[in-house]
Amino acid sequence: MQIEAFPSATFGTDEAAAGTPGSAETFPLSRNLQRRAHAIIPGGAHTYAKGDDQYPLLAPGFLARGQGCRVWDVDGNAYVEFGMGNRAIGLGHCFPRVTEAARRALDVGCNFTRPTPYEINCAETFLEAIPAAEMVKFCKDGSDATSGAMRLARAYTGREKIAICADHPFFSTDDWFIGTTPVDGGIPETIKSLTLSFRYGDLESARALFERHPGEIAAVILEPARGDDPPPGYLSGLRQLAHENGALFVLDEMITGFRWARGGGQEVYGVEPDLSCFGKAMANGFSVSALAGKREVMRLGGLDHVDFPRVFLLSTTHGAETHALAAAAETMRVYRDEPVIAHVHAMGRRLRLGAEEAIRRHGLTGHVGIVGRDCCLAYQTLDAEGAPSQAFRSLFLQETIRRGILAPSLVVSYSHSEADVDFAVAAIDGALGVYARALEDGVERHLVGRPSQVVYRRYNTPDGLAPGKR
């Protein structure tokens, strides 16, 4: 199912784009909601990636609705979106088959004191899509799943330490991961010491870790890939290394699952994890995540074993909401029935090629880069010296927003058409013209307000350093 092409944005015209950036008056309702939100919600949002500090001043603060690949903010400005709910929307907003499945489930009630057949239906649909998994447990977000995987690994191996890939930015909101970031306030040092790190694509890095901590590591966890594909044999080699040292091999498939392929990165790269964690695109934005894996490990969270102590694995009041599981099962059936994966790869490739051509045309090859797999693109923004720059990222976002696209990343969905992608390429081309001028006469002359900031900073200061220590 395809949504018709996005005809034009109600915000951002060629005439406006050619002049001075707009002002905060473009978003009056958003500004009012932002003030109210910060008064009662820490950070003003419930996800750090959605926070005001992640966007330029001239950006919509609140979105009101979405349809396909389009979104409208509370002030009525329209955009073609390329964030897609932080990669959770694989099919498109309000995708009919999925929303209808959720509505039908709501007619019978959303939560009960005993299981419902929706749980079996969704589990069977999931396991059919992920052949390496033998059992699955559903939960609500990615952190539930990855933290459950670490608990299982520790119980199964009798070990305490976890090895995480240092090149992958996020695994969980829980202490075992957040303690490794600069935002480690409130996490005991004893917890931080239990998490170790290795480098992606470097087997010797992981081997050295096992040599320094013999018999102590319960699991290695990483994403199958983020940007480039893994080196040939790397994932299978890391799995073998983990097993030789008595550790479990765990894949975080929150992003790669149902985007790289229906069966995730493990299908693309031909590797079977002991445990794997899914979420985001598997339910097209509904709150469902999954911890799946080999029966020998997963059974420790069940009722049938007597040879290991019980593992209190995952127990969420809302983990089996009927409408969410119905949405997830229907989403997975759409991936089975329709050419979703082929389409997002094709649209992503079209977007990549168009953006790269615009970058070359503006002479910005050394300053703007398109990175990632075609189905999951992002961009790099570098300053005049070639260093990563939040100010130039903010400028690029500001200028693309003014031209009618919302692109914190360049992620496409099944609802993006060729016309939508071409519209985005034109917006990127216009934004790059401003970028080129800013390299010559200073980004501060073109960026309205402060730059966006990285999430992982210790203090809420412009440079992330403690006050008085700059």
pLDDT higher than 70, residue 456: no
pLDDT band at 409 (very low <50, low <70, confident <90, very high): very high
What is the share, in percent, of the chain residues with pLDDT greater than 90? Answer: 82
State the average pLDDT over residues 114-132. Answer: 96
Alpha carbon 269 to chain centroid, angstroms: 20
Residues 207 and 299 in one domain: yes
Do 385 and 348 share a structural domain? yes
What DSSP assignment string belongs to 282-307? GGTTSS-EEEEE-HHHHGGGSSS--S
pLDDT given at position 325: 98
In order of 74, 348, 414, the CA distances from 355 in angstroms are 29, 10, 19
In a domain, 460, yes or no: no
In this structure, of 12-16, 63-67, 124-128, 459-463, the range with the lowest mean pLDDT score is 12-16
170 and 249, same domain (yes or no): yes
Mean pLDDT of 158-169: 96
When pLDDT is averaged across residues 287-313 and rounded to a whole number, the result is 94
Question: Which of 258, 41, 271, 248 has its CA nearest to residue 151?
Answer: 248
378 strand-pairing partners: 371
Neighbours of 139 (CB within 10 A): 24
Q: Label residue 451 by pLDDT band (50, 70, 90).
A: confident
Residues 125 and 241 in one domain: yes
What's the pLDDT at 19?
A: 30
DSSP 103-150: HHHHTT-S--SS--HHHHHHHHHHHHH-TT-SEEEEESSHHHHHHHHH
Domain count, the chain: 2
Place of tokens 């509904």: 286
DSSP code string of 166-219: TTS--S-SSHHHHTTSS--TT--HHHHTTEEEE-TT-HHHHHHHHHHSTTTEEE
Q: How confident is the model at residue 251 (pLDDT cuts 50, 70, 90)?
A: very high
Residue 227's pLDDT band (boundaries 50, 70, 90)?
Answer: confident
In DSSP terms, 377 is beta-bridged to 410
The Cα 348–Cα 354 span in angstroms is 10
Q: Is 306 exposed, middle or buried (0-12, 13-18, 19+ CB in 10 A)?
A: exposed
Tell whether 457 is covered by a domain.
Answer: no
Evaluated on CA atoms 225, 227, 232, 234, the torsion sign reads negative
Together in a domain, 194 and 326 = yes
Residues 116, 268 contacting (CB under 8 angstroms): no
Examine the fold and report which residue of 317, 337, 357 is the final residue of a domain before the chain moves on.
Answer: 337
Eight-state DSSP code of residue 257: B
How far is 221 from 49, CA to CA, in rounded Å?
A: 22
Per-residue confidence (pLDDT) for residue 24, from 0 to 100: 54
**pLDDT value of residue 50:** 85
16 pLDDT tier (thresholds 50, 70, 90): very low
DSSP 452: P
CATH of the domain at 47: 3.90.1150.10
One domain, residues 239 and 367: no
The structure tokens listed for 430 are 């216009």
Q: State which H helix or E strand residue 75 sits in.
A: none
pLDDT exceeds 80 at position 8: no
Show which of 321, 337, 353 is a domain's final residue. 337
Residues 240, 251 share a domain: yes
Structural domain that includes position 55: 14-94+339-445
Q: Give yes or no: residues 430 and 305 share one domain.
A: no
Percent of the chain with pLDDT over 70: 94
Given a cut of 50, is residue 13 above it in pLDDT? no
At 3 the pLDDT is: 34
Residue 4 has pLDDT above 80, yes or no: no
CA–CA gap between residue 234 and residue 385 (Å, rounded)? 34
* 291 pLDDT higher than 60: yes
Q: What confidence score (pLDDT) does residue 220 get?
A: 98
Evaluate the CA torsion angle 428, 434, 440, 442 in order and state its sign.
negative
In degrees and rounded to multiples of 5, residue 254 shows phi and psi of -55, -40
156 in the same domain as 281: yes
The reply to whether 466 falls in a domain is: no
Q: At residue 172, does pLDDT exceed 50?
A: yes
Residue 47 lies in a domain: yes
| Residue 1 in this model has a pLDDT that exceeds 50 | no
Instruction: List C-alpha distances in Å: 34 to 28, 74, 418.
Output: 10, 11, 34
Q: Which residue has the higher pLDDT, 324 or 21?
A: 324
Q: Are residues 110 and 212 in the same domain?
A: yes
Looking at residue 434, what is its pLDDT? 98
Higher-confidence residue: 318 or 164?
164
CB 465 within 8 A of CB 458: yes
Domain end residue (candidates: 337, 364, 387): 337
pLDDT averaged over every residue in the chain: 92
The answer to whether residue 323 scores a pLDDT higher than 90 is yes
* Domain identity same for 316 and 439: no
Residue 279, pLDDT > 70, answer yes
Q: Judge whether residue 11 has pLDDT over 70.
A: no
